[in-house]
Amino acid sequence: MFEGIAPALAALANAQVIGFVILGSIIGLVAGILPGLGNIQAMAVALPFTFGMDRLTAIYFLSSICASATYGGAIPAILVNIPGTPANAATTIEGYPMAKRGEGTRALSISATASALGGLIGIASLVVSIPIVKPLVLFFGPPETFMLVLLGMVTIAYAVQQNMIRGLATAGVGVLLSLVGFSPVTGVFRFPLGSSQYLWDGIQDVAFLTGIFGLSEAIRSGMDARKGVPAAEIIHAGFHGALQGVKDVFEYPWTLVRSSVTGIIVGIAPGIGGSVSNVVAYAMTAQMSKDPMFGKGSIEGLIAAESSNNATYGGDAVPTLAFGIPGSAAMAVLMAGLTLHGIPVGPWLMKEHMEIVWVVVFGLVAGTLFSCLVGFLVARWLARITTLPMGLVMPVIVMLILAGSFAVRQNYWDVLVTIGSGIFGFFLVSHGYSLLPVTIGFLLAGAAELAFIQALYISEGSPLIFLKSPVSLILLLSSIAVALYPVLKSRLLEKERRHEKAA
Amino acid sequence: MVYSVRIILAVLAGFLTLLGVYQHAIAQPAKTPALPSTINLVIPYIPGTGADIQTRVVARFLPKYLPGSPVFVVKNDAGAGGRAGVQTVYRSKPDGAAVGGAYTPDALANEALYGIDGAGFDFSKFVPLMSTYHQPYTVSVGPKAPYKSLDDMKRPAKPVPFCTTTGMDMSYIVIATKAIGIPMRLIPGFKGAPTAMAGLLRGDCEAVSLGIEFTNRYLKDGVRPIAVYGVERPSIWPNVPTSKEQGHPLELEISLAFFLPPGASAELANVYRDGLAKLYRDNEFLEAIRTAGFTPTYADAKRTQQIVSGLSGLFSKYAPDLRDAAAKTQ
């Protein structure tokens, strides 16, 4: 297990490799900041440039890009309510209200610290799981994946507890939107809406999420003729604010660990990644938190969202390195990088090329730490964006949103989807609906459907398949517990109140 | 005044002479058509797949063998089971700015399943440039499956469950099981060959049908090859009998073809063909492909056309079975 550490560390001691790790982290960070771009695009563009590098340098370079984009995506999520990547959707819910009330520096610092720690926990899980990695990967078949996604979906129970009917209705809309396009199993074209080609693969995550979060906020700012946060109202600014953010994270160790573990588990399950872990960990924390600020700029919520999405990379890397099954699209590109440099990805990678596994591990660690350090150091200057008049900032933001939406596939229809989602999001928020249920429904329903149908194909239609494996059973019981928790909590509170009255 | 008129006439004459020379020059038949400075190499697969990796190596090395050394941009137009990217190239202008790449059986399976209108392209109308990555398909079973030969698989206790992705993999399972007479049922929805292989090892199914190079990676984990769908034993599996040896002379092969949109001129196609032919003799390029774990085979445009015609016939023959299998998964 530890036999490849020495060559991997020796390579990292090389100045050229350090240079490429720094360059990769900056590329990933910038790609994450720009809406519509992320580590997948950045790595795909960088791939050809690695031809001239030796294999260890190339893998360090690509791993650092891979790890740094998610933190980059938190920056626009916090400062202007636009998730830089789909994995930062829930970050906007708590980060942006903090920035609006003058705590941008603190929020950026919380995000950087939670991302770094979450990323490290995720990577540690990868290291720890190396001896048992193959059975771990084989644990997650379609029934287990379905139960895991179900666990994520029942977190809607939290999101709807304020207003059950409204919440379920918007979650249902999210589910319906996720069903547009070809069925992943049967190939049936659903809800073509008159489109002969565009909706083949459904509504694109980036186009939808940047619209519903970012553009809807831009419309709201325009309608309110909102001004920037007055400089006098900026609190926790400067280096002091950044340090406060670091301290905040250490005040919620349980939230950090629980959300990171959620991110790791989601990462190990094939086909679902940071965008799912981000909303699931956030919603689970929301269910358990006693913070009255939840939904209005909660530190705990921000920690949950940002630690989980970064921890997912460690989980994603488990099936990728152990079995050659890419845990996410970003890992598929990293795999391509390994393959291009003659590193055979597959079950024998861990048997024959442990030094490569360690290079990926150290590359992810270096990318995470460097990007978060940069984020921490520049937080106080970045936060000043919130003091600018929104009339000045929003046109630039709108341009960035639309350009980002277009950049993913160079498709003008994606821009229209973003505009439509923006108007839809504006409508939802202005009528008191939460964006969380629609996001959870949209992000999870497709994965749930695929795993559910596949499981039934395997069992020839018998639903008992969902109860056969211990992993699946544990996840099912957890789902029931999570779903019942709000009901039990309110009953207990009622009982307490009655007791108090009686007393 | 006279002086000025003379100057004007002289300038005019000079201009007309230059114009004449220019028109004469542009009227000459171009020896090599100029290529755009940026060329999109469109593939219907996501980044990181085998086709994507090979295409990126081609994009990196090909420019030096083309006039003007154009820049190649690999566009991953994945979606709709591989139809989106092929359709994009089909609809592109035949001016050399778009080159397509796709697994031939994938594209033809889509055409057989959905028809030309449904698939959005007629593969026979593309202008073929060359094909590569030729290798036979295989059938393998999981560690606990009771089968040792194709004959065993023809007499199962229950239909043999196959884990499958879409397009090429599913089509070849349907064609082979129909031709051999193996009762089977499909377990679709696996995203990519590694996930299907994990399904096999987990016991979600008893068999998979995938390319030989890919399957070979998993033999150490207990995957057991039953047959190679070819007439000769490939060198990497000298001990695995072919389907022909087992009484079923079936040849099923992968090939990754590169092509221009319909209507591309022969001159333009020849520029690419010459460049690609030189590329597949470039040792540095061939080494890069081998380093990436692929065997760099080469078939020229004529041979590629023959492969396409052969597969078209095969897919037309089994089109009703393919549609029937697809309908059963709905």
The residues in B 245-264 lying below 8 A from A, measured between CB atoms, are none
Residues above pLDDT 70, as percent of chain A: 92
Q: CA-nearest residue of chain B to A271?
A: B191
Q: Which residues of chain B neighbour A187 with C-beta distances below 8 Å? A: 81, 113, 166, 326, 329-330
Q: What is the ipTM of this complex?
A: 0.79
CA distance B223 to B209: 11
Query: Tell me, what's the pLDDT at A235?
Result: 58
Among B216, B84, B60, B46, residue whose Cα is nearest residue A332? B46
Is the pLDDT higher at A226 or at B144?
B144
Number of Cβ within a 10 Å radius of residue A48? 16
Is the CB of residue B186 less than 8 Å away from at least one CB of chain A? yes
Q: CA-nearest residue of chain A to B199?
A: A141
Q: CA-nearest residue of chain A to B72?
A: A48
3-class state of residue B186 by DSSP: strand
CA distance A143 to A162: 31
Alpha helices in A324-434 (DSSP H): 329-340, 349-352, 354-382, 390-409, 412-430
Q: CA-nearest residue of chain B to A327?
A: B195
Instruction: Supply the mean pLDDT for chain A.
Output: 83
Is the CB of residue B221 less than 8 Å away from at least one CB of chain A? yes
By CB neighbour count within 10 A (0-12 exposed, 13-18 middle, 19+ buried), where does A51 fall?
A: middle
Query: Tell me, what's the pLDDT at A228?
Result: 57
- Apex B142 CA angle, B136 and B143, nearest 5: 125
Tokens 């360690």 correspond to: A358
Q: Which residues of chain B neighbour A324 with C-beta distances below 8 Å? A: 194, 217
Q: A188 and B330 in contact by Cβ < 8 A?
A: yes
Alpha-carbon distances, residue A364 vs A25, A56, A70, A263, A316 (angstroms): 10, 13, 12, 15, 12
Is the CB of residue A352 less than 8 Å away from at least one CB of chain B? no
Q: Which residues of chain B neighbour A184 with C-beta distances below 8 Å? A: 189, 191
CA distance B122 to B119: 8
Rounded to 10°, the helix A274-288/A470-502 angle is 30
Alpha-carbon distances, residue B193 vs A96, B26, B117, B311 (angstroms): 41, 52, 28, 21
The answer to whether residues B81 and A187 touch, using CB atoms and an 8 Å cutoff, is: yes
Sign of CA dihedral A462, A467, A470, A476: positive
Which neighbouring-strand residues pair with B98?
A: B40
Q: Dump pLDDT digits (tens) for B288-326.
A: 898 888 889 999 999 999 999 999 999 999 999 988 887
The answer to whether residues A245 and A293 touch, using CB atoms and an 8 Å cutoff, is: no
Among A106, A358, A403, residue whose Cα is nearest residue A229? A106
- CATH number for domain B38-134+254-322, candidates 2.60.40.420, 3.20.20.70, 3.40.190.150, 3.30.559.10: 3.40.190.150
Structure tokens at B295: 């065997």
Q: Would you say domain B138-251 falls under CATH 3.40.50.150? A: no
Structure tokens at B196: 């299907």
The residues in B 194-213 lying below 8 A from A, measured between CB atoms, are 194-195, 198-199, 201-202, 204-205
Q: Where are the domains of chain B?
A: 38-134+254-322, 138-251
Query: Tell me, what's the pLDDT at A1?
Result: 61
Q: Dump pLDDT digits (tens) for A171-208.
A: 889 999 988 988 777 767 788 777 767 787 788 888 88
Structure tokens at B13: 């004459």
Among B233, B227, B184, residue whose Cα is nearest residue B206? B184
CA distance A389 to A187: 49
Q: Dump pLDDT digits (tens) for B27-55.
A: 544 567 789 999 999 999 887 788 888 99
Q: Dump pLDDT digits (tens) for B80-136.
A: 778 889 999 999 999 999 999 999 999 999 899 888 888 889 999 999 999 999 999
Q: A185 and B188 in contact by Cβ < 8 A?
A: yes
CA distance A207 to A417: 6
CA distance B250 to B236: 19
Q: Which residues of chain B neighbour A43 with C-beta distances below 8 Å? A: 47
Is the CB of residue B324 less than 8 Å away from at least one CB of chain A? no
Sign of CA dihedral A71, A326, A37, A360: positive
Q: B198 and A138 in contact by Cβ < 8 A?
A: yes
Alpha-carbon distances, residue A46 vs A65, A327, B51, B52, B302 (angstroms): 9, 20, 18, 14, 35
| C-alpha count within 13 angstroms, C-beta hemisphere, residue B48 | 24
By CB neighbour count within 10 A (0-12 exposed, 13-18 middle, 19+ buried), where does A176 fall?
A: middle
- Compare CB distances from A186 to B76, B194, B330 and report the shortest one's residue: B330
- The set of residues, in sequence order, having a beta carbon less than 8 Å from that of A175 and lying 6+ positions away, is A441, A442, A445
- Compare CB distances from A184 to B189, B291, B326 and report the shortest one's residue: B189
The answer to whether residues A347 and A322 touch, using CB atoms and an 8 Å cutoff, is: yes
Instruction: Supply the mean pLDDT for chain B.
Output: 88
The answer to whether residues A307 and A262 touch, using CB atoms and an 8 Å cutoff, is: no
Query: Tell me, what's the pLDDT at B55?
Result: 92
CA distance A328 to A330: 5
Q: B329 and A187 in contact by Cβ < 8 A?
A: yes
Q: Dump pLDDT digits (tens) for A409-460.
A: 778 888 999 999 999 999 998 888 888 888 888 888 888 888 899 999 999 9
The residues in A 445-464 lying below 8 A from B, measured between CB atoms, are 450, 453-454, 457-458, 460
Q: B60 and A51 in contact by Cβ < 8 A?
A: yes
CA distance B307 to B251: 11
